[in-house]
Structure 1
């Protein structure tokens, strides 16, 4: 009988395996089943504000994420513009270590990303090595274009990339899937196509045994580019375009009138902010108009959020999926008298949305945990149980978002980080003059604790800013000249380490300053017995103002904080401008080339159906075969 029982059990086991009923990632039938590792869905918008309350106008985000997950109020982008921010996230590194500091050549963009070999080791490759299916839909970074589609980014099992120069044109969506020839979707709204592709991806991934990572990156609520055929050719930006079904929404809504919105007395007192006049009534009206257009453009994103959650629930995947929602950088509209844009160190530009939902994440909670984009990749890998795939040079750490991650050995900094930028132009959007000559190069320290919250900045001009955000959350009063030397010395020392930090020194600058564990926070550093030490440290400064990162220009540095095995060396040689295109194309030909694809003013679609791929048409050969450096004609500016 015992032998017969074993035969029956073995037969049943074989039958179960043959019928496909065994769960994916389980151990053999006689072992204890191993729970499938969690899926990760990452929804990543472009230029979405946190400080102007845009999330409140997104009912599905509220229903599925805010009410069922945790909102993190202190999440930051450490470089407040698209391409550098996205590369920092993908690599888990500050921009001073990726040396992607601009949106296009010579200091940024996809070609530079490849030239520096940053795509040889980054998030999707690490996740693949950890056993995940990696998937990307939407905008990756500037420079993935109609002429270089064959050079698809590495590491993605499936990718459907938006292609320049149509990335920033809402009603002419152009994509290349898995390095195939590009197509455009006729009479379609870009976010709706991304919506359809994301829904289809979830359906496909439901049939795979391996866990998945799906990054969905709509361009909204980024502004739209326009090309004009005047002589010379003129490129401008305009506020985002919504789907036709949303174009009448929010007709009475205005930019929140916070204390730093077009103030009577300017609170920011460094560089170009000193000379900003108070905005006129006409300018304020246009900012309100821009705000409404941004909210309208986000409605199609919100519809997509609803569909993706419904799809996960229908597939039975929701309870085993982490969903992250964030944006590459923030946005300002009239704050500190500034016209529309980003690239500044004001909180509106660097404090970005972050909402997380999933196993072990508190529901309906609000957290003041301090985090940055550099720590998202390590956190994804920790959730995937693949943190051993992270290189030692990664600057970010694991965010303690679940009980299981509370004591992770690779902890992210939860008190300090720096914000950095390099530019010799001031950039406004939706204005006749996209660029205004001026200085926008700075290093900013943010140090946040239970009872303190400071923003301390050093500009290349030698000017300083200090804001106490506990008492002055809108940065209306620069208190640098009122602060004591001993207090400034502590802040400057932290910035001295962070401005050129690598790996562990980014996660714990106190350990660099103090070999022992006696100082681990700002209050501990303020002990009087530390006064002499901090008074002797060199001060953060620049030799001169530059529009790019130059390690020597930003000397002195605190000792040798570089990790020995870092893959990025401090060398000005990689700041040399790249080779220009082989031939210069007359401006009018550029206009004609761009206009080879139709750009309808609006689309009549209420939303795409599941057969949306029927709308795809081949991109003309002339577009694919003509190599164009679109940035030479005004594209990408800081509208990106």
Structure 2
């Protein structure tokens, strides 16, 4: 027996070039905190999810937030809240431009110095941003004397200015300008997907990657291979289609019925939007495949959402947003990754102000006390905190009178005056600057067809008004959480 063992050892040494027997392979050491991949779409409404099997698969693998809303159904205010974790009344960004909005205001108020990107970068994350930033940002712009400006907090920066057409745009690629034309290979969402895969493949862990697509924002440009998909598809026609709510607010009350021409345009818009999100879905699938191939999938949180929703015919409104209706403020939020139970639906009211503190908590950081939102990680355990908010805030300045704004409402789209809204899991309460009030009991009236504000008991109306005023005035996580807790 001993002789045979000696022979076996000699043979092993001969076969390995007389070297020592190979050590068993050691598993790669995972970073302490997960990577984060955040896909943010533009104007994606809930009714487009049925055309995105990749998002449905992500939901099966993780958690969906059934009461997730934005702080304003408008690009720049919403994205400002996402970057900072703050309401518009704390970022100062209420519109896409002018004295109360846009990139200029966001920058002047020094919001860029305290975003989730600056926090994660300081914590050792490799941070990458690509696609759409904030309205008014120009890739070749000079800001504070810095040409081809890149905001603080980002290791990689591949951002366009006007990329809504998906072609003929310029990218700021880490301070270098890249001009893209109209070839199929220039299709912006696909270009972003390729850059994102490169970041995942080459970045040292941990990394944070945001891909902010322009799709499916108008003009709803699909990728070449998707132009013929969904032939005959029409805009959904539920009971709110081409129907005014009872006791509609003044900005909406006189809207005429949709004409056949308008309805045809709405059908075309919905079909093109369904086509446009196909490239987003493929991107999500390819990013998850890349995470698998690089061995990073088990330690990466993938997040999918939209900056706001969109209406197409509901409440007699032609294509647009900016209202407090569910079509505009209620958007998808899906997360999958370590620590997130697969196939779960979380009903607690969540907002886009919660994303920044969530990203920071995942990175092992304590969010700054000035952040208005709250980390969603405490909801993943299945035993959510008892003091979680019960109401969310929407803040909007209007009407939009800037025809240069890419979100300037076209005729019939709806252009509400300034309002603030309180949204619970079952009701929506809106106060307009002209004194108009709306109240929709969504538990009985999910499509918001009956404004019952006039019949609210005085005590209930006073309670809602007090809660809304408290949220409008809150600053910081503790105060905003307390202000967002109300009964009923």
Q: Deviations over 1:402-441 (max 9, x none)?
A: 229945xxx9843112111111337998999469996521
| Alignment TM-score, normalising by the size of structure 2 | 0.88
The answer for the alignment partner of 2:7 in structure 1 is none
Superposition deviation, residue 130 in structure 1: 2.2
Conserved 8 A contact 1:268-1:477: yes
Conserved 8 A contact 2:400-2:408: no
The answer for the alignment partner of 2:11 in structure 1 is none
Q: How does 1:111-260 map to 2 (within 5 A)?
A: 111-148=104-141, 150-163=148-161, 166-185=162-181, 187=183, 188-205=186-203, 208=204, 210-224=205-219, 240-260=220-240
Superposition deviation, residue 43 in structure 1: 0.6
> Which deviates more, 366-375 or 184-193?
184-193
> Which deviates more, 344-353 or 69-78?
69-78
- How far apart are the structure 2 equivalents of 1:438 and 1:219? 22
Q: Identify which of 46, 60, 66 aligns with 1:73.
A: 66
Superposition deviation, residue 295 in structure 1: 0.6
- How far apart are the structure 2 equivalents of 1:158 and 1:213? 10
Label 1:122 to 1:247 Cα distance change in 2 as closer, same or farther (>3 A): same
Conserved 8 A contact 2:69-2:350: yes
Q: Deviations over 1:323-360 (max 9, x none)?
A: 11000011001111111001111111000111111112
The answer for the alignment partner of 2:10 in structure 1 is none
Label 1:506 to 1:430 Cα distance change in 2 as closer, same or farther (>3 A): closer
- How far apart are the structure 1 equivalents of 2:113 and 2:63? 33
Label 1:277 to 1:368 Cα distance change in 2 as closer, same or farther (>3 A): same
Label 1:43 to 1:373 Cα distance change in 2 as closer, same or farther (>3 A): same
Conserved 8 A contact 1:426-1:440: no
Q: Identify which of 424, 431, 436 aligns with 1:458.
A: 431
- How far apart are the structure 1 equivalents of 2:124 and 2:412? 45
SS of match in other structure, 1:467? strand
Q: Identify which of 313, 336, 340 aligns with 2:319.
A: 340
Superposition deviation, residue 76 in structure 1: 0.4
The answer for the alignment partner of 1:397 in structure 2 is 374
Q: Identify which of 508, 522, 535 aligns with 2:487.
A: 522
Superposition deviation, residue 106 in structure 1: 2.8
Superposition deviation, residue 252 in structure 1: 2.0
Label 1:433 to 1:312 Cα distance change in 2 as closer, same or farther (>3 A): closer
Superposition deviation, residue 375 in structure 1: 0.5
Whether 1:57 and 2:38 are equivalent positions in the alignment is: no
The answer for the alignment partner of 1:469 in structure 2 is 442
SS of match in other structure, 2:67? strand
Conserved 8 A contact 1:146-1:182: no
Conserved 8 A contact 1:261-1:337: yes
Conserved 8 A contact 1:427-1:436: no
Q: Deviations over 1:163-222 (max 9, x none)?
A: 2xx3222122421111223432551211111111111111112xx1x4111111111000
- How far apart are the structure 1 equivalents of 2:98 and 2:454? 39
SS of match in other structure, 2:392? strand
Label 1:211 to 1:437 Cα distance change in 2 as closer, same or farther (>3 A): closer
Conserved 8 A contact 2:310-2:321: yes
The answer for the alignment partner of 2:393 in structure 1 is 418
Conserved 8 A contact 2:418-2:433: yes
- How far apart are the structure 2 equivalents of 1:98 and 1:432? 24
- How far apart are the structure 2 equivalents of 1:105 and 1:170? 26
Conserved 8 A contact 1:191-1:301: yes
Q: Identify which of 464, 474, 477 aligns with 1:501.
A: 474
Superposition deviation, residue 488 in structure 1: 0.8
Superposition deviation, residue 473 in structure 1: 0.6
The answer for the alignment partner of 1:3 in structure 2 is none
Q: Identify which of 40, 46, 57 aligns with 1:44.
A: 40
Task: Give the unaligned 5+ runs of structure 2.
Answer: 1-19, 142-146
The answer for the alignment partner of 2:464 in structure 1 is 491
Conserved 8 A contact 1:243-1:297: yes
Superposition deviation, residue 372 in structure 1: 0.1
Q: Deviations over 1:464-489 (max 9, x none)?
A: 10110101011000111111101111
Q: Deviations over 1:534-570 (max 9, x none)?
A: xxxxxxxxxxxxxxxxxxxxxxxxxxxxxxxxxxxxx
- How far apart are the structure 2 equivalents of 1:485 and 1:370? 25
The answer for the alignment partner of 1:581 in structure 2 is none
Number of residues paired by the alignment? 456
Superposition deviation, residue 463 in structure 1: 0.7
Conserved 8 A contact 1:45-1:328: yes
Conserved 8 A contact 2:140-2:172: no
SS of match in other structure, 1:292? helix
- How far apart are the structure 2 equivalents of 1:109 and 1:146? 15
Conserved 8 A contact 1:426-1:436: no
- How far apart are the structure 2 equivalents of 1:434 and 1:90? 32
Superposition deviation, residue 147 in structure 1: 3.4
| Alignment TM-score, normalising by the size of structure 1 | 0.67
Conserved 8 A contact 2:346-2:379: no
Label 1:245 to 1:181 Cα distance change in 2 as closer, same or farther (>3 A): closer
The answer for the alignment partner of 1:281 in structure 2 is 260
The answer for the alignment partner of 2:242 in structure 1 is 262
Label 1:432 to 1:272 Cα distance change in 2 as closer, same or farther (>3 A): closer
- How far apart are the structure 1 equivalents of 2:407 and 2:80? 25
Cα RMSD, aligned residues only: 2.6
Q: Identify which of 329, 350, 353 aligns with 1:350.
A: 329
Superposition deviation, residue 310 in structure 1: 0.7
- How far apart are the structure 1 equivalents of 2:250 and 2:267? 26
Q: How does 1:324-339 map to 2 (within 5 A)?
A: 324-339=303-318
